[in-house]
Amino acid sequence: MSAIVTLKKGEGRALKAGGLWIFDNEIDTVTGSFQNGEIVIVHDFDGYPMGRGFLNVHSKIRIRMMTRRTDQEIDEAFLRMRVQRAWDYRKATVDTASCRVIFGEADFLPGLVVDKYEDVLVVQCLALGMEQFKITIAALLKEVLAADGIRIRGVYERSDANERKKEGLPKVKGFIGGEFDTSVEITENGVHYLVDVANGQKTGFFLDQKYNRLAMQRICKGRRVLDCFTHMGTFALNAGLAGAADVTGLDVSQFAIDQAEENARRNGLSERVHFRCADVFDELPKLAAAGERYDVVILDPPAFTKSREATKNAIRGYREINREGLLLVADGGFFATCSCSHFMTQELFAKTIREAARAAHRRLRQVEFRTQSPDHPILWAAGESYYLKFYIFEVCNER
């Protein structure tokens, strides 16, 4: 018999709205024996059944819900249903050659991410309770894909994120099943990349910007482009493929620059797309002082904050980098900027850009606002699933 967790009166508001998390301070009692990571039954304060989820007393996110039905067994048939629905959704919404096939809570498989890079799957497990299911889910996903004629040649695990410490878990990295070549060539928006799933950031590549990169292609044709925090050269290469006259990509990591240069060669763009290892925060003021101006400036920085407490410092960082970027945009040029932090809300990010524009004496005309690619679906009741904010502006100097 599963242990029963009872919520305090008035708590569980996010859960009742459709979310999947229950925090430690929302729980009144736990009745029955359990081990961390086990599935428990959740009741409201008055005994009303709320569903089943896995419990971990080491985590502030005490319970992550798996189902709203207390009589639902979390067995292989249940997991197959979840996997099949996740894949059916991707087939309906995105190019599935390379995409995120499972996005944790937004696919009702909390704490688990699976990315597909052509014929390779990369698994990342960030929750103790999901550890018991990750191998089964990977195998089920291979079966579901095989039914559509897609053969997966290997699965690699990248559960080496710091978030695992909050769950009392060690970092894990390595093959699930047989070994294979972990360098995978993918094609996105017509651009070819070599993705290193074993050593690249996160699971090897940032799939969430797929359609934002595509949106920049039509803006960059014939223009001089500066791509900041270029990583593997993604925005820069999309600009080059679209016919940009000249593209410069900056990143502080030499490893990333080496990858970007290799990707430029792979796409035959080395003559027009160039990369330089530099700290963007140091480099942008130098470029402005030298009188450099670009038709398009793209800012794709890492998350400046991964906690609510650090948001104030992050705002300063975003404000400064956006001000410096705006100073480099030629009159009538375009400026693309984004934040990949959940804690930097759309409203807060917009306010920060507005302040940066005022400080740089630039007028902004919004071209469009975008979010993460649909293979990273936003579950409205789970705010943590909405993290990427992406703006494109036309920039006009104040006169």
Last residue within a domain, chosen from 186, 216, 232: 186
State yes or no: is 340 an active-site residue.
Answer: yes
Q: Is residue 389 part of a domain?
A: yes
pLDDT at 307: 61
Report the first-to-last Cα separation within the chain, whole angstroms: 73
- The active-site residue, picked from 125, 220, 340, 396, is 340
Q: Which amino acid is at 285?
A: P
Domain boundary among 158, 186, 214: 186
Count CB-CB contacts under 10 A for residue 84: 15
- 150 plus 289 within the same structural domain: no
Q: Are residues 86 and 219 in the same domain?
A: no
If asked whether residues 57 and 85 sit together in one domain, one would say: no
Mean pLDDT by 10 residues, the chain (399 residues): 92 93 96 94 96 95 96 96 98 98 97 98 97 97 98 97 92 96 96 94 93 97 97 96 98 93 97 97 96 97 71 86 97 96 91 96 96 97 92 84
Alpha-carbon distance of 333 to 306, in angstroms, equals 32
Q: What is the DSSP string of 218-258?
A: HHHTTSEEEEES-TTTHHHHHHHHTT-SEEEEEES-HHHHH
Would you say residue 313 lies in a domain?
Answer: yes
- Among 47, 67, 87, which residue terminates a domain? 67
Are residue 132 and residue 12 in the same domain, yes or no? no
CA nearest neighbour of 163 among 208, 110, 109, 207: 110
C-alpha 156/C-alpha 198 separation (Å) is 7
- Which pTM value belongs to this model? 0.94
Enter the DSSP assignment of 261: H
Q: Which residues pair with 67 in a beta bridge?
A: 52
Average pLDDT along the chain: 95
Nearest to residue 250, comparing CAs of 200, 205, 300, 304? Answer: 300
Question: What backbone phi and psi angles, to 5 degrees, belong to 166?
Answer: -65, -20
Q: Does residue 353 belong to any structural domain of this protein? A: yes
Q: Are residue 350 and residue 393 in the same domain, yes or no?
A: yes
Alpha carbon distance 381, 108 (integer Å): 12
Is 192 a member of any domain?
no
Q: Give dist(CA 65, CA 53) in Å, integer.
A: 4
SS3 75: coil
As a whole number of angstroms, the distance between CA 145 and CA 141 comes to 6
Is the domain of 325 the same as that of 179? no
**CATH number reported for the structural domain that contains residue 18 in this entry:** 2.30.130.10
**Among 71, 23, 80, which Cα is nearest to 51's?**
71
Pairing status of strand 4-7 against strand 27-31: antiparallel
Print the domain residue range for 123.
76-186
81 and 153 part of one domain: yes
Tell me if 133 is assigned to some domain: yes
Q: How far apart are CA 24 and CA 247, in angstroms?
A: 49
70 contacts 89 by C-beta, under 8 angstroms: no
Q: Is residue 196 part of a domain?
A: no
Structure tokens at 47: 């005994």
To 5 degrees, how large is the angle CA 204–CA 389–CA 318? 90
pLDDT tens-digit map of 3-32: 999 999 999 999 999 999 999 999 999 999
The reply to whether 375 and 249 lie within a common domain is yes
Return d(Cα 108, Cα 67) in angstroms, integer.
Answer: 8
H/E run at residue 349: helix 346-360
Helix residue spans in 111-209 (DSSP H) = 134-146
200 domain-assigned: no
For residues 132 and 268, membership in a common domain is answered with no
Do 176 and 58 lie in one domain? The reply is no
Q: How many domains does the chain have?
A: 3
CATH code of the domain covering residue 380: 3.40.50.150
Q: Is residue 191 part of a domain?
A: no
Same-domain status, 59 and 156: no
- Of 252, 262, 263, 299, the closest CA to residue 188 belongs to 263
pLDDT digits (tens, 9 = 90+) for 351-394: 999 999 999 999 999 999 999 999 999 999 888 899 999 999 99
**pLDDT score of 310:** 65
Same domain, 87 and 60: no
